[in-house]
Structure 1
């Protein structure tokens, strides 16, 4: 078994990666931005079934500074770089997201190289692949890159694209013997283990809470967080994963209205607040002028991006849960943890 560092251990993806590494018998280290997040990490691990994570060590390190990274990575065989700046709003200055994502990624890669780490697996995004392009029916695959000049490229999308580009450039020019693999997930759903979760989970929470009388015409791919974690572990050790990107998406692209229909069908009365109507685009654009959270939605209205995970399936033997299973697991965990309205 190996010693593995997971960056961003208090995050939604990071905690599931840690659970699977511990279950596989690895010695795990993880970073948190503040020491007081230690109790949060342990609580989420207990919720996930790891009652006594004896093989876990926590280190304090932030993507915006050098402190703590050398100590966290020393003696590690692998690094899974999951941490990334994330915001539910569109920042006034895109560099608020771009600089920490890009520079933080390079900071982790330098520390890994200097410590003699074998391979780093980076959590990128489908946002680094399928945005800024004209509408098309052909599914996006790992050979595609987001066009940063596209009208639908928001700061988060740009930050993930530039961070991944910087990672490949670094390994090619300065990596020495360091290997790199990248996982590019679609919208990540699945079981929540605590109050920290992704923007995708916020969609399901908002639907269950009845926060929207009608939903915007927005589409995205779906993948379960447990399958994203599994793909990280496969990319970490498979020899053929060296130097490769892997899209993580479960099935067909879904709309927010589709997700609402799944919730109503499977949850019955518990989904009584889920809206049944889709808002016209003009109304969403109008509302976005008054509601900052909708600003990020407007460039996505009506855009359908198909993508394929055939490479992960054929090269690494990866299998994913269905869209419906991922969405239902999200909703059931939010309800169990009392994170939605009663």
Structure 2
């Protein structure tokens, strides 16, 4: 019997490679998109480190979200598509359209190609950024019913791009989906095992804390989730009949400050304890610094903000049961130490 084919976009990404790992372990065939053939070896190395020894069910396709080239061929024969790839956030953008347009156009390109190839369902990796941004004086946990308020001041263009690209996806399905199914997964801060030292990891803050590069921490609260649980939620959203037309917040439901994260690392890795920060930075100082340092703009937009989240929907509807935030944070650090990423 032919294995069901799943197309996963952006295969070298942290979340995408864990999804591919889980799909191969569950007996699916996977075709993943990459922007350049150079990524093939890195992806195989990460999968090998994750336990995959047989690559006969994995294939690669060169396709870029900013161009129509090769998307039609990429989708041929696929039953499902998991669209994880998104344009990398630019720190130095001239205007916010540089971030928003590629994100929206990329999602529409993937959905159109999926529809044309008669794919059954697309699972879109959206973000917590499409849910929480721009809300004032929030005191109750965010759920899938919430959308970021695009009319609010000081929304970072990255959160806007995530919100607008997810909205565009739902709009496409409603107006021209023609039976194509859609579900979205909206992860909070993603932690968990890194699979290669070559990989530029999204959780650089853990590495920097362990290396003593961060002297004091902003007062930012966040939810956290293990990348392995993000992967399993994508696959549940792909296969469960109940998931069609639904959004799922990928969160443990816990809220941690950056100092809580530092405390977890200090306790779990006593050899590094003296490197890990014990001081916080006043919110006003972060906001003032962001006026001249574009790299701090995103942090400045969320300091002191409520960040409670609920995972009730994914647990009740799909039977999903994630690891704790502490487990995820320790797994991140341990993998970085084991791979020699932490100097």
Per the normalisation by structure 1, the TM-score is 0.96
Alignment partners' CA distance in 2, 1:130 and 1:187? 13
Contact persistence 2:216–2:280 (CA under 8 A): yes
Displacement of 1:86 after TM fit?
Answer: 2.4
Corresponding residue of 2:87: 85
Q: 1:116 aligned to 106, 115, 118, which one?
A: 118
Contact persistence 1:215–1:256 (CA under 8 A): yes
Q: 1:162 aligned to 156, 161, 164, which one?
A: 164
Question: 1:219-258 counterparts in 2 under 5 A?
Answer: 219-258=221-260
Q: Give deviations 1:313-332, integer Å, cap 9, x for gaps.
A: 00000000001000000101
Displacement of 1:197 after TM fit?
Answer: 4.9
Distance change in 2, residues 1:141/1:90 (3 Å) = farther
Corresponding residue of 2:54: 52
Displacement of 1:88 after TM fit?
Answer: 6.4
Work out whether 1:196 is the aligned partner of 2:199: yes
Q: Secondary structure at the match of 1:246?
A: strand
Alignment partners' CA distance in 2, 1:312 and 1:216? 30
The two structures, once aligned, show a CA RMSD in angstroms of: 1.3
Question: 1:1-342 counterparts in 2 under 5 A?
Answer: 1-87=3-89, 89=91, 91-194=93-196, 195-197=198-200, 199=202, 201-341=203-343
List runs of 5+ in structure 1 lacking aligned partners: none
Distance change in 2, residues 1:3/1:67 (3 Å) = same
Contact persistence 1:152–1:300 (CA under 8 A): no
Displacement of 1:301 after TM fit?
Answer: 1.1
Alignment partners' CA distance in 1, 2:302 and 2:92? 14
List runs of 5+ in structure 2 lacking aligned partners: none
Contact persistence 1:91–1:155 (CA under 8 A): no
Alignment partners' CA distance in 2, 1:273 and 1:88? 29
Contact persistence 1:188–1:198 (CA under 8 A): no
Q: Secondary structure at the match of 1:98?
A: helix
Alignment partners' CA distance in 1, 2:264 and 2:65? 37
Alignment partners' CA distance in 2, 1:209 and 1:295? 24
Displacement of 1:52 after TM fit?
Answer: 2.4
Distance change in 2, residues 1:99/1:254 (3 Å) = same
Q: Give deviations 1:133-190, integer Å, cap 9, x for gaps.
A: 1122211111111001223421110011000000000011111110000001101110
Contact persistence 2:194–2:201 (CA under 8 A): no
Per the normalisation by structure 2, the TM-score is 0.96
Displacement of 1:335 after TM fit?
Answer: 1.1
Q: Secondary structure at the match of 2:210?
A: helix
